[in-house]
Structure 1
Amino acid sequence: MTVSEIVAEMVRDNLLVELGQGDSSTRGGRKPTMLQLNANFGYVLSFDLGFNYIDVMMNSVDGLIKSFEHHRVGELSIDDRLAFIVAQAHKLAVPDQTVHGLLGISVAIHGIVDHNKVLYTPYIDFKGKDIAQILSSELNVPVSLQNEANLSVIYQRDFESREKIDNLVCISIHKGIGAGIIMNNRLFTGIRGEAGEIGHAIVYEDGGVSRKRFKSIEEYCSEDSILKKIKEQTGLSELTRDDIQTLYYDGNEIVGDILDEFCYYMASIIYNTVVTLDPAKVVINSNLIADIPELLDIIRTDIPFLTEDKTQVELLANSRYATLLGGVSLIISQVIDVTPGEINFPNTIGRSLIKAS
């Protein structure tokens, strides 16, 4: 089948709509027909299963955000979480407003995912359930599971990268630490989905390499570890990220020292990533650094480089919604049968919700 025949079929199926003719190239010839995804073809839902929250986003098939909800759910069981997802899917149903209604669902997992199954997560007991199969049977749509950090790097590739970047790493720093890896424009997850689990990398304390003295990098750099250290050293039992931001800008020495140590270890993580994978860009997904942008400058200063051609290190734009939007790209690519990495959304889509909030 030729490209023209494929396009004609997609237009007949209402997946694409014609916008009219574009400008001819500098070489002349026939004016091209401009096409775009038909927003009324259908919609997708993306869910982020956090430790004590579930985020929900609805998007039309062209990627435009239709709604977003943040739900504090506490430590719900996996059965209750599945029931919540199904209830949300029914509540948000808008079949009369689109041609095909709900097309698919993506679910962000804070743990290891392989072949659409959850292999490990430290925060939620999935009880060995095949949640993709359960949700797909219940809602009669395809369901894609993916690691949270992997979805963040998919967001960076498909929403934010205007230039072609074949090799890209996104380091997510939240309750845990993980890295999403794009190699040759494709998501790289390893043999068992464990690629990028850098939060479990071992750091030895001073005094030797006794097995009794090692810690994981998450014990130094995760948001939980930062909060714990500040609470212990300041005696403040109730702390939020906003409180850390205030204490930092007020010149609190304890907070300053702890965040300096955080920056040192983050620089080490990035350096190890660069010398291992040699990506074109490293993007950091961190609400803490987004709250205190000066930390990024400190991290950049602390990173050693082997050559003068330094790897770009940036803060992920739109970190609040990046994971969900990565899931949107993942499931849209699946339902319209486009190879992941070959679809690109305007970066204004990712920011539309922020402007509306």
Structure 2
Amino acid sequence: YVIIPAAACWLGGMIIALRRGVFRASTATCDAAGLLIGGLIAGGAGCWWLSATGSWAPFWEIVLHWSGEYRTSVGGWGLRLATNLSYYVYYAPWSLLALVAVPLAVRNCIDALAPPAKVSPDSGAAGRLLLSLLYLAWLVQASLIQLSHEYVLAVPLMIGLALLVAWDRVARPSPGMQGALALFVLVALAVHPLARPRALAAWPLCASAGSTPEVKDRLSTGAKRSVMGEAHWQDLAKVADFLRSQNIHDGELACWDDSSQALYTQLHISPSSRFVHVANWLVFFPSRRQEIMHDVLAGRPRFVVTDVQMAGYSAFLARDDHQRDEAVWPDGMPPRPDQFPWNQPIVFRAGRYLVFAVGDESLPASSTEASR
């Protein structure tokens, strides 16, 4: 995707040269060839690494045969719009800088394309044009082309900040602009997660105890909305201790959700299959569910760890469940006797996390019996 903003900047450079009357076809050709050669060198190094690690064939399998279904299964334009809107709401006021950065970038582009007689070479218009094109092109590809994950939408913000800092009204602010900037900083600090009383109270603990599960939970839990992949670190530490007591080794663990996959690094083991968080793959690739489950079961995992909250179990029920640390099925969650791994015996539970013991005699006869 980076080729889109890169191409926009290259075209912007060619337009600047053309408007200034210094454009030469030979120079443009050499410039384009240099960029192409540089890309081939970087891409060649990446291809060499893929080949050296045995990932070349799987890489092409994903690109040619899997990526299309991923794009369609995660939702259409409705989900894309919802993700964009949620980003601008939940990450305000920083996300709202786009309301200023986009018009500023458009104006910079218009100014840079003014007649050459009105633009001096040292006016800075060329630099503002390139930065504006980089910002606009990256914003367009992040919002409309690349899948709109929040971490994707956050990237243009950094470029937009650079664009705003280079703006004369910010670089040399008037009294009114100074007041607006001060107000923005105050609002940004007031709504920042680290400025909340719960987080501020954890600062001494961060200095004295370090990055413990307790500190992580103090800083990460209690969010106003469910965050996919957010772990409960104290419960996860209990699961890790249990698995250590079972002398678990490489290939013996399958983490069903992305909120539990930190167990692989905590226990220094490799997963039982190439699918690191199985539930996501089953959702993203419905036509390949049987293939995915066949691969997972072929690894013969001893244990499967699931996060009942990621499976639709309410966080409020999980919080109030009086049996949250007993190896029993969660209160209020319908049993799933015909679905793997939920039909396996529960041998340990820590809050949201269930640990299933998978025996050879209890593996599903058909890989289509699996479910998120």
TM-score norm. by structure 2 comes to 0.25
- More strand per residue: 1
The structure with the larger Rg is: 2
Comparing both chains, which one has the higher relative contact order based on Cα–Cα distances under 8 Å and sequence gaps of 6 or more?
Answer: 1
TM-score norm. by structure 1 comes to 0.26
